[in-house]
Amino acid sequence: MAERKERVTCIVCPVGCKIEVSVKDGEVLSVEGNACVRGVEYAKEECTSPKRVLTTLVSVRGGVLPVTSVKTTKPIPKELVSRAQWEISKVTLEAPVPIGKLVLGNLLGTGVDVVATRSVEARKAVGHR
Amino acid sequence: MRRSSAKPSLWVLAVREREADVIVVGGGPAGLAAASSCKEAGLEVLLVEREGSLGGILPQCIHTGFGILETKEDYTGPEFAEMLEKRARDLGVEILLDSYVSRLSQVGGCGASIEVLSPRGVETMRASTLIFSTGCRERNAFEIGITGDRPAGVMTAGTAQALMDLYGLLPGREVVVVGSGDVGLIMSRRFALEGAKVKAVVEITRYPGGLTRNVVQCLEDFGIPMLLSHAVLEVRGRKRVESVVVSEVDEKQGPVPGTESEIECDTLVVAAGLVPEAGLLEKAGAKIDPLTGGPFVNEFLETSLRGVFACGNVLVVNDLVDHAVEQGRLCAMSAKSLIEGTMRRPSAWKRAVPGENVRFVVPHLFSGDRDTVFYSRVRSPMRDCSLSFNEIDKEVRIRAAMPAEMVRVRIEGSLLSGVGEALTFEVRGWPKGKRG
């Protein structure tokens, strides 16, 4: 297979380096245009197996807010994002939810966990149904 | 201190007075950082917040991208907000929630007094320094000239975000988003993830307004179409939005007749830019920069009102929370030096002015006595260019400059001291073959 060049926009940080990756036979030959080392890994991955951090919501029962925000602790394969969203949406937590609480372990067998990114205090019983 | 109101008022509430070294108005990221730094510096600080909770807009920004420069970690908005809040609370910053500042006035040539409305009543608070961190507000559908019916389903992106990500309500199922800045892009992804269909993101300019990474991850990942050089002209619908009329626009951003088309949708989300909430400052007599919409400031981030400082999005609309935090900290340091009497203002300020392809520069005035951080934005996107100055020997290479990304530059005092009256910020093409 011939060598191909792929242009990747780095998303590790907001600088957004334009990185050029040379790929041959599924092997990364060179990475150019990255301002930091984190860009190298990202660019290689985006060309071979793209991944995304998923941030979404989970229902909370009895909290001052009806939802808490959650994130995957690491990026998950891009093609799993919509299945993961569906999986996470089935969860309901009980308040209080501390920040960092484990919401789902080993999401879809990826080895990545889902944790709460917002603490939600319990609603005071007085004055509520 | 407690005293009864001199004049009878509609409020049968106590009018109280308070004093502090520093009052911080607004408990978002800039205000929290400012208040914490003041406390650390040994100042008595009072943080006044109009909402019932702290963090400003961060708690509803559930995506990542916060605090990378500050912490080298990639946090979500709510996580970063909780960190800032925890620090302020651990330090023992006095925080007044549900407290709306209705008036700001300068007193005695330095410092300020504010009138605060809250469930506690009406309070007057005075401080020798005041840090203003009230953030910004969103432009609405009327401000961008959208006409037609006025049904339910037209809302700003921030409202949609609060409904969805704080209160767990899906605000619509078929959505058109106006504006391709980061706010519009991120909300498009949120709608798509929650099962709504984003019919289009409509952008009036020729290029996307947000960061490339958001164009990639928020639109391309979800197959959401972007209509560049297009505008939403009209909303149609009786009770709920039924459709919007879009059209192409010419170079002057005016609609091109004959290019109109109708997009069926139930929701129109307006993400058409942010405006600093500088109304109270302006009323108090602070000079406002028409280019930023925020106050005119010197290198201490002090407004034209002595002892009144500004940071965060009321100073200049930031794209990184890290910059808002940095500005907050600088305000705290400035307040400290003013209180301690070590602040030295020059006899004549030098001016920082925008030149070629630069929309604004903040701060506006500098002394040349110390290193100074300047924030600016380009007018239009440019590849392989540099931020340069005619007056001093400094050039900062920028591989890709776009309006969405703030250009932050720190210039050494040794260079700034050599500037005459003004320093002109220009972004120009990088000469071919030149090393940098």
Q: Chain A contacts of B89, Cβ < 8 Å?
A: none
Q: Chain B contacts of A69, Cβ < 8 Å?
A: 62, 76, 78, 165
Q: Which region among B145-154, B292-301, B388-397 has the lowest average model confidence (pLDDT)? A: B388-397
Q: Does A92 touch chain B (CB under 8 A)?
A: no
ipTM of the complex: 0.89
**Contact assignment for A81 to B212 by CB distance below 8 Å:** no
> pLDDT tens across B234-253, in order?
999 999 999 999 999 999 99
Q: Chain A contacts of B166, Cβ < 8 Å?
A: 65, 67
Report phi then psi at B160, rounded to 5.
Answer: -60, -40
- d(CA A69, CA B86) in angstroms, rounded, equals 18
The pLDDT of residue B69: 87
Q: Does B269 touch chain A (CB under 8 A)?
A: no
The pLDDT of residue B383: 80
Q: Which region among B103-107, B178-182, B210-214 has the lowest average model confidence (pLDDT)? A: B210-214
Q: Where residue B211 falls among pLDDT bands split at 50, 70, 90? A: confident
Q: A42 - beta bridge partners?
A: none
Helices A81-89 and B182-193 pack at an angle, to 10 degrees, of: 70
> pLDDT tens across A56-88, in order?
999 999 999 999 999 999 999 999 999 999 999
Tokens matching residue B135? 């953030």
- d(CA B49, CA B99) in angstroms, rounded, equals 5
Q: Where residue B5 falls among pLDDT bands split at 50, 70, 90? A: very low
The pLDDT of residue A129: 46
To which H or E segment does residue B82 belong? helix B77-91
**Contact assignment for A69 to B78 by CB distance below 8 Å:** yes
The pLDDT of residue A93: 97
Q: How far is A29 from chain B (nearest CA, A)?
A: 23
From the list B64, B68, B164, the residue facing A55 with the nearest CB is: B64
Specify whether the backbone of B301 is left (phi greater than 0), alpha (psi in -120 to 50) or beta: left
The pLDDT of residue B436: 58
Q: How far is A68 from chain B (nearest CA, A)?
A: 7
- Nearest chain A residue to B70, by CA: A13
For range B429-436, the mean pLDDT: 73
From the list B166, B211, B400, the residue facing A14 with the nearest CB is: B211
Mean pLDDT by 10 residues, chain A (129 residues): 79 72 85 85 86 96 97 95 96 97 97 97 71
- Nearest chain A residue to B190, by CA: A56
Query: CA angle, B326 as apex, B322 and B328 as ends, to 5°?
Result: 115
Residue whose C-alpha is closest to residue B207's, from B361, B383, B356: B383
Write the CA distances from B13 to A91, B25, B61, B119, integer angstroms: 46, 22, 37, 9
Question: Which among B71, B74, B218 is the top mutation candidate for probing chain A, defined by the most A β-carbons within 10 Å of its own β-carbon?
Answer: B74
| Whether the Cβ atoms of residue A25 and residue A48 lie closer than 8 Å to each other | no
Q: Compute and round to an integer the Cα radius of gyration of chain B.
A: 23
Q: How far is B405 from chain A (nearest CA, A)?
A: 8
pLDDT, averaged across chain B: 93
Q: Does A55 touch chain B (CB under 8 A)?
A: yes
